[in-house]
Structures are given as C-alpha cells and as structure tokens.
Amino acid sequence: MAETSTKEAWDRFQADVKTLAGELSRNYENSNDEKKTAEINRSLRQLGQAAEAFFESLDTATRDPQVRASTKRAARSFGSALTETFREVSAELDKAFRQPAAPK
C-alpha cells in the first residue's frame, strides 16, 4: 500500500513540475522583457542550489556507501529531470523572444 502511495506522490510531483514548466512558458512567451528572463534564470539557479544542498545533506548524514551511492544517483536523476523540464521552457522562451511583437 505504501509503495502505491509513494509512486502516486512522485507521479504527482512529476506532473506538477510539468505544469509549472508550461505555466512559465505561457506566462513569458509573449513578453520581450529581459528583466523577467533574468528573474527566471535567478529562480532556476536558486532551485538548483537548494536541490544540491538537500542532496549534500543526505550524503553527509550517512556513512553507508550504498546509501551515499543511491543519494548521488537520485541527485543526478533529479537534476536531469529539472534540467530537461526547464530546457523545454527555455526553448519556448527563446522562440517567443525571437518572434516580432504582435501589432496592437
């Protein structure tokens, strides 16, 4: 029972991150504001730093080599998932910034 609940929680997390990526993309796709882009980049760096600190704390909390190896794998997987999600957003932002503004 707990395994199903855990899987559902991670599936929900994955869906929420995808939703967030879509919302960021929609929110900024028609904007030519470099300040907003800088804010997104700053937020993404902060998210990465927080994730790195979290996994480093897990790594230092145990001396068990298997747990440490699993922590490193999980950190890489988490980082990869975030990177790919936000790479998609970045590509959408890049396309939006390259398009001429719509006439008003």
Q: Which of 31-40, 49-58, 81-90 has the highest mean pLDDT?
A: 49-58
Q: Are 71 and 58 in contact (CB under 8 A)?
A: yes
Cα separation of 52 and 76, whole Å?
10
Q: Are 68 and 59 in contact (CB under 8 A)?
A: yes
**What's the burial of 93, exposed, middle or buried (CB within 10 Å: 0-12/13-18/19+)?**
buried
Q: Give residue 104's pLDDT band: very low, low, confident or very high (50, 70, 90).
A: low
How far is residue 58 CA from its own chain's centroid?
19
8 vs 79: which has the higher pLDDT: 8
Q: Give residue 100's pLDDT band: very low, low, confident or very high (50, 70, 90).
A: low
Q: Give residue 97's pLDDT band: very low, low, confident or very high (50, 70, 90).
A: low
6 vs 22: which has the higher pLDDT: 6
Within 10 Å of residue 68's Cβ, how many Cβ atoms?
15
Can you list the positions of beta strands (E) in 6-54?
A: none
Query: Per residue, what are the HEC states of 76-95?
Result: HHHHHHHHHHHHHHHHHHHH
pTM metric for this prediction: 0.54
